[in-house]
A = this chain, B = another copy of it.
Amino acid sequence: MRFTISAAKPEDCKDIERMIMELAVYENMPDQVKISHKELERDGFGPNPFYHCLVAEVPEEHKSKDGNTTVGYVIFFYTYSTWKGRTVYMEDLYVMPEFRGNGIGKALLGAVAKEAKDQLCSRLQFSVLDWNKPSLDFYMAKGAEDLTAKEGWHFLRFHGMALDNLAQEAP
């Protein structure tokens, strides 16, 4: 199947919003999604964007059963390791189920890896749920390391009242 990968444009944000929800449903956490295409437009396309996004599109003749031609996306941003310097963090990589097996996920991942190399990043990082065996297998087969299993890194978060309380301790 032919497809193209290109930088997302603001008008892609409704499709991205739709696929973010599809991915959250797959991850059993659809209630967590509090974002809409409006925030995605505001945060991804200014002079200092909070994220970068690539979308995968298929020709009209291959459109999905619901009529979509934008069938996958990847969202990433630049982070920083105080041990190794510039790093890319991949927040989401998603291909609609009916379009899997055509190399679209591999192409999206490859495009992010190339961005990482072009920007002198030595690492591409991301998070996967421990029960999501298909995704873990996909990444491990390509040489990913599981830092939680190997070194014991746990992922922590402050939000809501806990974050508000911390902010009040600012000097």
Contacts and interface: CB of A to CB of B under 8 A. Distances in A.
A62 to B, nearest CB: 16
A interface: dominant SS: mixed
Given A153-B128, A153-B155, A142 B123 contact: no
Contacts of A80: 43, 50-51, 75, 77, 91
A157 B110 contact: no
Interface residues of A, number: 78
A1 interface: no
B113 A83 contact: no
Contacts of A86: 43, 50
A26 interface: no
A76 to B, nearest CB: 9
